Structures are given as C-alpha cells and as structure tokens.
Chain A
Amino acid sequence: MFQYDFMQYAFIAGTLVAIMCGAIGVFVVARSLSFVAHTFSHIGFAGAAFAVYVGIEPLGGLLLFTIASALGIGQMGVKMFRRDASISVILSLFLGLGILFLSLSNKQANFTASILFGSVVGINIQDVWQIVGLTIVVILVLAVGYRWLKFDSFDQVGAESAGLPIRWISVGFLLLMSISVSVAVQIVGALLVFALMTVPAAAARCFTQSIFGMILVSSILAVLGVWFGLVMSYYTNAPVSFFITSFEALAYFIGIVYQRLVNRYRVAQLN
C-alpha cells in the first residue's frame, strides 16, 4: 500500500487534517458552532467552484470565500448565525452559487464529486505542502490563544467579566475554522467536513473530563478514523469518507455507552 506515492500523500495529509479538525472540533462543539462549520463547508464549495470558473487553484477559492464569510459573521455576531433560519438561508444561497459557478465553467461531474465528497487519494505533493503549512499555522495559533479560547468557549460570562476581548476571540476562532474547513474539504469533502470536525470531539467528551484530554482524545479518534478509512478504502475500493464517518460514529456510540456504564458504576459506589 505504501509503495504508492498517492497513498503516502493521503496518509500525511489525512493525519494532519485529522489532528487539526480533532483539536479545533472541541471548541466548535463547546461554542455550539457545529452547523456553522457545516455552513462554512458549503460556502467553501461555492468558493472552489468560483476558483475553477475564474481559473485559479480550488484552495484559493475555498479560503477566499470562507475567510470572507468568517469576517462577515464575526462582524454581524455569531448568535445570529446560530439560528436555524439564518443557517438555512446562507447554506442554500452558497450551494446555489456553487452550482451557478459550476454551470458557467466546463468542469462539472468530476469536480463536483471531488469537492462534495473529497478526494484524499487524488492529492499531489504540492497539495501536501499546502496542507502542512496551513495545519501548522492553525495549530500554532490554537496553542498561543489556547487559554483565551478555552475560557471564552467554556465560560463566556466569566471570560467577558474578566475583561477578555470576546469579540476578537470569536472572529479569530471563526478565521481558524474557515482555514480548517478549507483544508479538510479536500480530504473528506464539503458534505462531510463537519463530521470530522464535530463527531470525534463529541465522542471525546464521553471519555475524558479535562479540556486538554478532550483535545487529545478527539485528535486521536480523528486520526484513527482517517487511517481506518484510507486502509479500508484501499482494500475495498469503497469511498474513504464512508469509512471515516462510520468509524467516528461508532466511536461516538461506544463513548455514550461507556459514559453510561461509568455513571452507573459511580452511582453504585455511592450507594
């Protein structure tokens, strides 16, 4: 399997994206931004389609559209974008725009499939370097702003009263999310980005009781999911994304059962 360059690239890029999504996902879940992440991926789809239409790299279009949206959402306030109606309007608008840009360009079926469902085995060494660079940027910013971000994500009232610049933290986090989504879209596709960004983090909450522990478990689950997906896809020829999401969903349900068993054990100990 590893004798092929495309599989080596897929493993390197997939692992980096998984670590990034696993780490950032803990804050996405804590800040109740799961569906904003989903919306970003559709905005990214429109961006990628726009990039193809004007003849630039898809990643450029993805970043352009998602970063502009992050700044727009940050300006108007995140609360508005948590509303179901707002999400539906924006999501459908950008999906429509994406279809328009695709219809205006010549590339249709192949490109649509690769952006919507991902094409991890289709990436080249240049893509790998782009992903390495962006992942390092995201993880470094996450590490430097970790304390502010965790305070604001897990106790917004406390963070605001302690004088933290919560508006800037919010905008900064949306920018990180937009970059992560743009990178991850290439691996798992626009439709399943939020699976990698939210399911491992949701599962991690069942296994650990510290914020750093959640980041660690979430990243490990995401990486294992991507590796499992790549190996299974190689041997079965079925889509990678299917195996990744199945693995993460299984981890989540095991987490729920584990948490219930632990709670029962604690209650039994108390009695």
Chain B
Amino acid sequence: MLRQFQVDDLQVSFNGEKVLNHLSFEVFPGEMLAIIGPNGAGKSTLLKVILGMIHPQGGAVRMESDKRKAVIGYVPQSRTIDEETPIQAKDFVSLGLPAKIVPWLSQKERVTVKKAMMMTESLHLAKKPIGRLSGGERQRVFVAQAMVRHPDVLLLDESTANLDPNAQEQMMQLVQRLCKNQGITVLFICHDLHMVKEYSDRVLFMSRRHYETGSTDEVLSGKALEWLYHSTDDEKPKKTGLFREQRDRVTDHLF
C-alpha cells in the first residue's frame, strides 16, 4: 500500500512552451483524486510524468510504498487495438504480468490473471477476442491488466470518455470498489463533473494559470468553478488558497 505520494514543483516544457509550470500537490493514500481542467492544461502530461514516460525539466514525483518500489497501473482513454486481433481477453490481461525469462505462465500467474479478471468483473470475457469486446468491456479488461501487477496507484486518463452513461457508471463504480476494498490510490482525469462529484474524494484543478486542490464539494461549487475556468490571472501559477485541504475525510475508510 502507498505511504506517501507527493508532487513537488514539477516543470515540463515542450518546444519551449511550458505545459506544467511549478506544479506541487499531495495525494493522500487510498483516496480517489479527480483531475479536472480545460484541454491543454497538462493533465495527461502529468500522468505520463508520474508513470515515468516523460522526464520533467524540474521537480520530482515522490512515492513511498510498502513494496520496494511503488507500482503504478495505467488505463488510457483508448488503445490502438486492431479489431482483427484475435487475442483472447485473458491473454491480453496476462501481458501485464511482470516480465520473466520463462516464456510460459506459471500456475501462480494464471491464478493472478483469474483473480484480476474476477476483481474487475470481466472473468466471463476471458475467452473472447479483445478486438470484439464493447468499449465498456475493453476498459474492464484494461483495468484487469493494470491489476495483475498489484498496483499501489491507478491512473485513469479519461478512461470513461468513450463510454455510454451506463458503462461510465459501471466503470467508475468498479474503480471505486478497487480503491476502497484494495486500498489503491486512484487519480482519474475526467471532464464529466457529475462523475467527479459522485466518485472523487478530492479534486485537483489544472489550468495553464492555476493549480488548485480541494474537497470535491468546494471545487465543484458553482462560484469556485467559474472563477477557476474563467480567471485571467498572470502567467505564473500559484495556489490561491481558495480551497482548504481535507485530509481526515478521505482517509477515514482506511482505518
């Protein structure tokens, strides 16, 4: 389980343009943190920095876990899966297992795959080709693939964006169950404020000008949202102190 998750003074630029500009915030172990903000604010970039896919020009992401190294699972909005690809869903899930030199799966690894699919309610899809699954079914299989590594943190990058409302609800309920039952810390990017209100413990708001964390109710109050989306403050982002941190509430369920 995660002990500490701190993002310190992160700076990322692409072609001279600042995408993340001195971003700092803390994630509390076992919480569901929604990341909201307009397009181009650097939300996906932030997740890629956390994953280690992008190296920041400055700052750092600090994670401490019970394990030797914190394990991160990632579910993107979409993956380029060829519809003709005949791989069964269980094969696809097993791709996420930690790499070993032995080419075949051990009995223990097969059990891990089965458990991950049970956890994500996708076991009935095990023998279906991944290319033939619906959007919602695929996303559950993608979460199962992330779960075979027993992650401390799960990052969801608009993973419900292409789903119908019913499938969106099912997906978020599943993620919430994983968070509460398995103690996984979840960061999810979402544009649907209804989903954010329903499923997040706290919210990180990102724009090119501001970064702000606060409780879901505070950030989603009409006045605060309007101020955040339409503020025309100067270039340098800063914590405005509009919201206060509420650590106690989000970690209640862990104790």
Q: Check if A and B associate.
A: yes
B86 touches A209 (CB 8 A): yes
Q: Closest residue to A266 on the B side, CB-wise?
A: B132
Known: A147-B103, A154-B87, A205-B84. A162 touches B79 (CB 8 A): no
* Interface flags, A125-168, vs B, CB<8A=1, else 0: 00000000000000000011011101100111111111110000
Q: A208 on the interface (CB 8 Å rule)?
A: yes
Contact A210 B88 (CB under 8 A): yes
Q: Is B238 an interface residue (CB 8 A)?
A: no
B85 touches A154 (CB 8 A): yes
Given that A147-B99, A147-B100, A154-B92 are contacting pairs, would A161 and B87 also be in contact in the complex, using a CB cutoff of 8 Å? no
A233 to B84, alpha carbons, bound, how many Å? 35
**Cβ-defined contact, A211 with B91, below 8 A:** yes
Q: Nearest A residue to B95 by beta-carbon distance? A: A151
Interface contact A150-B129, CB-CB below 8 Å: no
Bound-complex Cα distance A83 to B101 (A): 33
Interface set, chain A 109-133, CB cutoff 8 A to B: none
Contacts of A159 in B (CB 8 A): 95
* Most chain B CB inside 10 Å of its own CB: which residue of A155, A212, A214: A155
User: Which residues of B have CB within 8 Å of A212?
Assistant: 103-104
Q: Is the CB of B96 within 8 A of A162?
A: yes
Query: Measured between alpha carbons, how far is A150 from B100 in the docked complex, in Å?
Result: 12
B49-107 residues at the A interface, CB under 8 angstroms: 51-53, 72, 74, 76, 79-81, 84-88, 91-92, 95-97, 99-101, 103-104
Give the distance in Å from the alpha carbon of A30 to the alpha carbon of B92 in the complex. 13
A30 and B96 alpha carbons, distance in the complex (Å): 17
Q: CB-CB < 8 A to B51: which residues of A?
A: 161, 163
Residue from the list A155, A160, A164, A209 in contact with B99, Cβ < 8 A? A164
Report the separation of the CA atoms of residues A206 and B129 in the bound assembly, to the nearest whole angstrom: 12
| Of A158, A163, A210, the contact of B52 (CB 8 Å cutoff) | A163
The answer to whether A157 touches B76, judged by C-beta atoms less than 8 angstroms apart, is yes
Closest residue of chain A to B74 (Cβ to Cβ) is: A161
Interface of A is mostly: helix
CB closest chain-A residue, reference B52: A163
Are B95 and A154 in contact, CB atoms less than 8 angstroms apart? yes
Inside 8 A of A158's CB, which chain B residues have their CB? 74, 79, 95-96, 142, 145
The answer to whether A210 and B91 touch across the interface, beta carbons within 8 angstroms, is yes
List which B118-166 residues lie within 8 A (CB) of chain A.
Answer: 127, 129, 142, 145, 149
Q: How far is the CA of A158 from the CA of B53 in the complex (A)?
A: 11
B interface bracket (residues with beta carbon within 8 Å of A): 20 to 34
Please name all residues of chain B whose beta carbon is closer than 8 Å to the beta carbon of A146 when the two chains form the complex: 103
CB nearest to B101 among chain A residues: A144
Q: How far is the CA of A150 from the CA of B88 in the complex (A)?
A: 13
How close is B207's CB to chain A, nearest CB, in angstroms?
25
Q: Which residues of B contact A211 (CB under 8 A)?
A: 87, 91
CA distance A157 to B74 in the complex (A): 9
Q: From residue A266, how far is it (CB to closest CB) to chain B in Å? A: 9
Residue of B nearest to A161 (CB): B74
The docked-state distance in angstroms from the alpha carbon of A222 to that of B72 is: 40
CA distance A159 to B92 in the complex (A): 11
Q: Chain A 26-51, CB within 8 Å of chain B: the 1/0 string? A: 00001000000000000000000000
Q: Which of A198-231 contact B (CB under 8 A)?
A: 205-206, 208-212, 214
Give the docked Cα–Cα distance between A29 and B114 (Å). 28
B241 to chain A, nearest CB (A): 34
Given known pairs A155-B92, A161-B74, the reply for A205 and B86 (CB within 8 Å) is: yes
Which residues of A are found within 8 Å of B104, using beta-carbon distances?
Answer: 212
Do B95 and A157 have beta carbons less than 8 Å apart? no
In contact, A161 and B99 (Cβ under 8 angstroms):
no
Task: Check B53 against A161 for contact (C-beta < 8 Å).
Answer: yes
Chain A residues with Cβ under 8 A from B100's Cβ? 147
Contacting residues, chain A, for B72 (C-beta < 8 A) = 161
* Chain A residues whose C-beta falls within 8 Å of the C-beta of B76 in the assembled complex: 157, 161
In the complex, are the beta carbons of B129 and A151 less than 8 A apart? no
Q: A157-B76, A157-B79 are in contact. Are A151 and B99 (CB under 8 A)?
A: yes
A157 touches which of B52, B80, B99 (Cβ 8 Å): B80
A151 touches B52 (CB 8 A): no
Q: How far is it, in angstroms, between the C-alpha of A148 and the C-alpha of B96 when the chains are bound? A: 10
Least Cβ–Cβ distance between B153 and chain A, in angstroms: 12
- Nearest 9 Cβ contacts at the A-B interface: A161-B74, A146-B103, A151-B95, A209-B86, A147-B99, A157-B79, A209-B88, A161-B51, A148-B99
Known contacts A147-B99, A151-B99, A210-B88; 20 additional CB pairs below 8 A are A147-B100, A148-B99, A150-B95, A151-B95, A151-B96, A154-B85, A155-B95, A156-B80, A157-B76, A158-B74, A158-B79, A158-B96, A160-B53, A161-B53, A161-B72, A161-B76, A205-B85, A206-B86, A209-B91, A214-B86
Residues of A in contact with B (beta carbons under 8 Å apart): 30, 143-144, 146-148, 150-151, 154-164, 205-206, 208-212, 214
Q: List 5 A-B contacts (CB under 8 A).
A: A147-B97, A155-B95, A157-B80, A161-B53, A209-B86
